[in-house]
Structure 1
Amino acid sequence: MKINSSFDSGNIELVSADTLSNITLKIRTDSNSEFKQWFHFKAHAESGQSYGFEILNAKDCSYVDGWENYQVVASYDRQYWFRVDTEFTSEKTLKFKHHFEQATVYFSYFEPYSYERHQNLVQAAQLSDLCQHKILGHTVDGRDMDLLVIGDESKERKMWITARQHPGETMAEWCAEGLIDRLLDENDALARSLLDKAVFYVVPNMNVDGSYRGNLRSNAAGANLNREWQNPSMEKSPEVYLVREQMKQTGVDAYLDLHGDEALPYVFVAGTEGVPSYSDKIKALEDEFKRILESVNPDFQDKFGYDKDEPGKANLTVANSWVGEEFKCLSYTLEMPFKDNANLPNKETGWSGERSYILGQTLLNPLYQLVDKLRA
Structure 2
Amino acid sequence: MKITSNFDSGNIEVIQADSPDNIQLAIRKDNESDFYQWFHFRLSTEHAELHTLKITNAGTSAYPDGWKDYQAVASYDRQSWFRVETEYDGTTLTIKHFPEAESVYFAYFAPYSYERHMDLLHQTQLDYNCQLVELGETLDGRDMSMLVVGEPEAGKKKIWITARQHPGESMAEWLVEGLLERLLDEDDGVARALLNKAVFYIVPNMNPDGSVRGHLRTNAAGANLNREWLTPSMEKSPEVYLVRQKMLEIGVDMFLDMHGDENLPYNFVAGTEGVPSYNDRIKALETQFKQTLLTVTPEFQTEFGYELDEPGKANMTLATTWVGEQFKCLAYTVEMPFKDNANLPDDAYGWSDIRSMKLGQDILTATLAVVDQLR
How does the TM-score come out when normalised to structure 1?
0.99
In the alignment, what sits opposite 2:104? 105
Does 2:104 align with 1:115?
Answer: no
Question: For residues 18 and 135 of structure 1, what CA distance do their matches in structure 2 show?
Answer: 47
Counterpart secondary structure, 1:17: strand
Q: CA offset at residue 74 of structure 1?
A: 0.2
Q: Number of residues paired by the alignment?
A: 374
Cα distance in 1 for partners of 2:4, 2:71 equals 21
1:54 paired with 2:54, answer yes
Cα RMSD (Å) of the superposition?
0.7
- Cα distance between partner residues in 2 of 1:295 and 1:85: 34
Detail structure 1 runs of 4+ shifted over 3 Å in the superposition.
none
State the identity as a percent.
Answer: 63
Match of 1:346 in 2: 346
Q: Is 1:371 the equivalent of 2:368?
A: no
Distance 1:55 1:165 in 2: 25
1:221 pairs with 2:221: yes
Separation in 2 of the partners of 1:65 and 1:22? 25
TM-superposed CA distance for 1:47, in Å, is 4.9
- 1:312, 1:303 → 2: CA distance? 23
Native 8 Å contact 1:177 1:357 kept in 2: yes
Superposed CA offset, 1:151-209 (max 9, x none): 01225200000000000000000001111111111111110111001000000000000
Kept after mapping to 1: 8 A contact 2:228/2:240: yes
The aligned residue for residue 128 of structure 1 is 127
User: Which letter does structure 2 place at the counterpart of 1:28?
Assistant: R
Report if the CA contact (8 A) 2:20-2:47 is conserved.
no
- AA in 2 matched with 1:187: D
Deviation, 1:18, is 2.5
Q: Once the two structures are superposed, what CA deviation does each residue of 1:261-297 show, in whole Å capped at 9, x if it has no partner?
A: 0000000000000000000000000011000001101
Aligned to 2:204: 204
Aligned match of 1:153: 152
| SS in structure 1 of the partner of residue 346 of structure 2 | coil
- Structure 2 residue runs of 5 or longer lacking an equivalent are none
SS in structure 1 opposite 2:331?
strand
Question: CA deviation digits over 1:232-267, x for unaligned, max 9?
Answer: 000000000000000011111110000000000000
Scaled by the length of structure 2, what TM-score is found?
0.99
Which structure 1 residue ranges, 5 or more long, are not aligned? none
| 1:244-259 map, 5 Å | 244-259=244-259
> Hey, what's the Cα distance between the residues in 2 that align with 1:188 and 1:261?
30
Query: What is the SS of the residue equivalent to 2:266?
Result: coil
Q: Secondary structure at the match of 2:372?
A: helix
- Counterpart contact for 1:47–1:102, Cα < 8 Å: no
- Paired with 1:34 and 1:233, the residues of 2 have a C-alpha distance of 21
1:243-322 aligned within 5 A: 243-322=243-322
Question: Could you say which residue in structure 2 is the equivalent of 1:182?
Answer: 182
Aligned equivalents of 2:93 and 2:159: distance in 1?
41
Measure the CA separation in 2 of the matches of 1:370 and 1:44: 50
**Kept after mapping to 2: 8 A contact 1:29/1:36:** yes
Q: Deviations over 1:42-99 (max 9, x none)?
A: 0000152211000000011000000000000000000000001110015x10001100
